[in-house]
């Protein structure tokens, strides 16, 4: 496995997809998902110039955090249980996977107690697939009205995942759905909400996500093969 070469090739594909969507490649951040590799490999990713690392499990994140500290910009991208919030607030820069009011309230509470404001994304389940977590698009307005009252969080955008094995058309319509939802939320002008980020696209579908406006692509497999 040649991590530096894989990163270079992904960077080129990001640049091509950006160009074909008339977008600036600098507006797209590569988040290297290191969940399947050890801290040494993650260090190699850092050394190759990718500073944003994503983990999907709290314990695995904490192990890597112990090894690498706050040198990387850390992203928590996987389902988060309320009772684990206390371990990560203030350590990760962005929590992508906030899928309920209850979870957001807990993050806000813990952040306030530490005297900080935690950046988060709200995860939506655009496809309606049952196995995926995420809020339903139809709940967005009611949810954001409540989220906008929480003082310990800053909502920086939205996150979604396309269903596994979906066709290209389906995948694109999921990503388009998230973009439209983000535009709709931005119009409401909620206080602690800035719709700066769309976290969508993984190894198999990041080019489609970039065409639909992704600003954060979460890539694992393609870097570590």
Ligand X SMILES: *Cc1c(COP(=O)(O)O)cnc(C)c1O
Q: Which stretches of the chain bind ligand X, using CB under 6 A?
A: 33, 35, 56, 77-78, 161, 202-204, 218-222
| Residue tagged 């389902």 (tokens) | 79
What's the closest the beta carbon of residue 7 comes to ligand X, in angstroms? 13
Of 78 and 157, which CB lies nearer to ligand X in the complex structure? 78
Of 213 and 220, which CB lies nearer to ligand X in the complex structure? 220
What's the closest the beta carbon of residue 36 comes to ligand X, in angstroms? 7
| CB-nearest residue to ligand X | 220
What's the closest the beta carbon of residue 224 comes to ligand X, in angstroms? 8
Of 33 and 140, which CB lies nearer to ligand X in the complex structure? 33
Cβ-Cβ contacts under 8 Å for 50 (sequence gap 6 or more): 7, 30, 32
What's the closest the beta carbon of residue 195 comes to ligand X, in angstroms? 20
Judge contact between 223 and 45, C-beta under 8 A: yes
Of 152 and 209, which CB lies nearer to ligand X in the complex structure? 209
Of 198 and 202, which CB lies nearer to ligand X in the complex structure? 202
| Residue 127: strand pairing partners | none
What's the closest the beta carbon of residue 99 comes to ligand X, in angstroms? 11
What's the closest the beta carbon of residue 105 comes to ligand X, in angstroms? 22
Judge contact between 96 and 159, C-beta under 8 A: yes
Judge contact between 16 and 39, C-beta under 8 A: no
Distance of CA 31 to the CA centre of its chain: 8
Of 41 and 117, which CB lies nearer to ligand X in the complex structure? 41
Alpha-carbon distance of 48 to 223, in angstroms, equals: 11
């Amino acid at each position: 496995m040649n991590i530096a070469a894989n990163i270079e090739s992904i960077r080129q594909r990001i640049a091509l997809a950006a160009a074909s969507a008339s977008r600036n490649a600098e507006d797209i951040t590569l988040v290297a998902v290191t969940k399947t590799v050890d801290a040494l490999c993650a260090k190699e990713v850092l050394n190759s110039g990718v500073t944003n690392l994503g983990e999907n499990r709290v314990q695995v994140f904490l192990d890597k955090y112990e090894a690498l500290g706050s040198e990387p910009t850390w992203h928590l991208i996987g389902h988060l249980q309320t009772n684990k919030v206390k371990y990560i607030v203030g350590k990760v820069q962005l929590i992508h996977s906030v899928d309920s009011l209850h979870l957001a309230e807990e993050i806000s509470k813990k952040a306030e107690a530490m005297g900080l404001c935690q950046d988060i994304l709200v995860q939506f389940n655009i496809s309606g697939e049952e196995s995926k977590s995420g809020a339903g698009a139809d709940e967005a307005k009611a949810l954001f009205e409540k989220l906008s009252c929480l003082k310990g969080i800053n909502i920086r955008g939205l996150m979604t995942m396309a269903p596994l094995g979906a066709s290209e058309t389906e995948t694109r319509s999921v990503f388009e759905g998230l973009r439209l939802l983000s535009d709709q939320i931005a119009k409401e002008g909620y206080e602690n909400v800035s719709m700066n980020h769309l976290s969508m696209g993984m190894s198999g579908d990041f080019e489609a996500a970039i065409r639909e406006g992704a600003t954060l692509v979460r890539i694992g497999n393609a870097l570590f093969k």
